[in-house]
Amino acid sequence: MKEITGTILAGKSFDPIRGRVIINDGRIEAVERANTESTDIILPAFVNAHTHLGDSVAKEAAVGKSLEEAVAPPDSLKHQQLAGADQSDLVSAMRRTLQFMEQTGTVSCLDFRESGIPGARALREAAEPLSIDPFIFGSGDSSVLDIADGYGASGANDDDFTKERAACRDRDVLFAIHAGEPDATDIHPALDLEPDLLIHMVHAKQEHLTRVAEQSVPVTVCPRANAVLDVGTPPVRDLLDHTTVALGSDNVMLNPPSMFREMAYTAKQFDVTAREVLQMATSAGAEIVDHDVGVIAPGKRAALTILDGDSNNLVNSADPVQAVVRRATGLDIKRVILN
Ligand SMILES: [Zn+2]
């Protein structure tokens, strides 16, 4: 049994409670109010809801390039670098990125893994010795589902994914697809596939939002990646008003997968509350893949990030939720517990 004391951002609303989290056998047994001297801030570990960890071999290699030149299949710079990468170099590069994510308080990521079965295997191998637990959306032939947790389609304009969608339904696993990144033309075709998750939706209009709500499809937005690739800004407020919205850092090539950076950017660029942003970075992604994390509540897996509320950066903050979302950095982390 373990006890962690401080200001706890408890439940789905993150109402700050002064007290303790009691952990037993890797699970949260109780969240209790209590007097404590501790200035620590305890929050759920993050779920990064969209990554491309394979890009770990090509960090900052595409600075100044367009979406097409940087990441679009099959001939972009990213795909050239992936094709040229030695398998063991790729595994160790992805492992280093996963370790960075652990250090910065992330317990899971929803990764779109390129390169079919070998690609999915390489990510499993990279994560094997670590506590972070990536959910792998595989690519290529639908037999990738023997290894991956679900299927991640590049986009409805790139190929016909009817077969892969059906294969996911047969196996009762998730089918996710990019939509509305450079423009809106692939959004209706993506929705026609009845996906379990849409990525981006930068160019979503009311007709798309209505369908998203009708079909109850969650959406992952990646605002920093959209900014780097200059494809526009996603309608985060409108999306939140229609469905579950999660936050992803997207290509490791373009941005470090730090949820602190993604949260601060999102909170300051969009008409959203700090609580909404913290949900987008924790419980929303966990719900999409049905992982038992992202909320501090009895019975949940104890995956926690503990910040030093008395750090040079966080001391004197008026509100712990605002401080976590808008101000905190990896330097403020005291401990990450990923049971
Ligand atoms: Zn992506």
Q: Which long-range contacts (CB under 8 A, 24 or more apart) does 177-184 make?
A: 177/152, 177/153, 178/112, 178/153, 178/154, 179/155, 180/204, 180/208, 181/67, 181/155, 181/226, 181/231, 182/67, 182/68, 182/231, 184/208
Which residues does 105 contact at the CB level (< 8 Å), separation at least 6?
43, 45, 46, 259, 260, 305, 330, 333, 336
Tell me, in angstroms, the distance from the centre of ligand 1 to residue 50's CA. Answer: 6
Tell me, in angstroms, the distance from the centre of ligand 1 to residue 307's CA. Answer: 29
Predicted local distance difference test score (pLDDT) of residue 141? 97
Predicted local distance difference test score (pLDDT) of residue 76? 86
Instruction: Determine the topology of domain 46-288 in CATH.
Output: TIM Barrel (3.20.20)
| Cβ–Cβ under 8 Å, residues 94 and 87 | no
Q: Taking all residues of the chain, what is their mean pLDDT, rounded to a whole number?
A: 96
Tell me, in angstroms, the distance from the centre of ligand 1 to residue 242's CA. Answer: 22
Residue 47 has pLDDT above 90, yes or no: yes
**What pTM was estimated for this model as a whole?**
0.97
Tell me, in angstroms, the distance from the centre of ligand 1 to residue 71's CA. Answer: 9
Residue 16 has pLDDT above 90, yes or no: yes
Tell me, in angstroms, the distance from the centre of ligand 1 to residue 225's CA. Answer: 9
| Strand 27-33 relative to strand 303-308, pairing | unpaired
CA distance 220 to 118: 25
Tell me, in angstroms, the distance from the centre of ligand 1 to residue 66's CA. Answer: 14
Tell me, in angstroms, the distance from the centre of ligand 1 to residue 331's CA. Answer: 27
Tell me, in angstroms, the distance from the centre of ligand 1 to residue 154's CA. Answer: 7
Tell me, in angstroms, the distance from the centre of ligand 1 to residue 112's CA. Answer: 6
Tell me, in angstroms, the distance from the centre of ligand 1 to residue 224's CA. Answer: 12
pLDDT digits (tens, 9 = 90+) for 90-117: 999 999 999 999 999 999 999 999 999 9
R_g of the chain computed on alpha carbons: 19
Residue 75 has pLDDT above 90, yes or no: no
Top-tier CATH class for 2-44+294-337: mainly beta
Q: What is the rounded average pLDDT of the residues 267-278?
A: 98
Tell me, in angstroms, the distance from the centre of ligand 1 to residue 292's CA. Answer: 24
Tell me, in angstroms, the distance from the centre of ligand 1 to residue 198's CA. Answer: 10
The partner residues of 153 in beta bridges, in order of sequence, read 177
Tell me, in angstroms, the distance from the centre of ligand 1 to residue 247's CA. Answer: 12
Tell me, in angstroms, the distance from the centre of ligand 1 to residue 196's CA. Answer: 15
pLDDT digits (tens, 9 = 90+) for 191-244: 999 999 999 999 999 999 999 999 999 999 999 999 999 999 999 999 999 999
| Strand 303-308 relative to strand 333-338, pairing | antiparallel
How many residues are present in the chain?
339
For the stretch 260-271, what's the b/e string if a residue is b when 16 or more beta carbons lie within 10 angstroms of its beta carbon? bbbbbbbbeebe
Helix (H) or strand (E) holding 30: strand 27-33
What are the structural domain ranges in the chain? Answer: 2-44+294-337, 46-288
Tell me, in angstroms, the distance from the centre of ligand 1 to residue 222's CA. Answer: 9
| pLDDT classification of 74: cutoffs 50, 70, 90 | confident
Tell me, in angstroms, the distance from the centre of ligand 1 to residue 251's CA. Answer: 6
Which residues does 52 contact at the CB level (< 8 Å), separation at least 6?
71, 78, 111, 112, 113, 114, 250, 251, 252, 253
Tell me, in angstroms, the distance from the centre of ligand 1 to residue 327's CA. Answer: 26
| Cβ–Cβ under 8 Å, residues 118 and 85 | no
Predicted local distance difference test score (pLDDT) of residue 83? 85
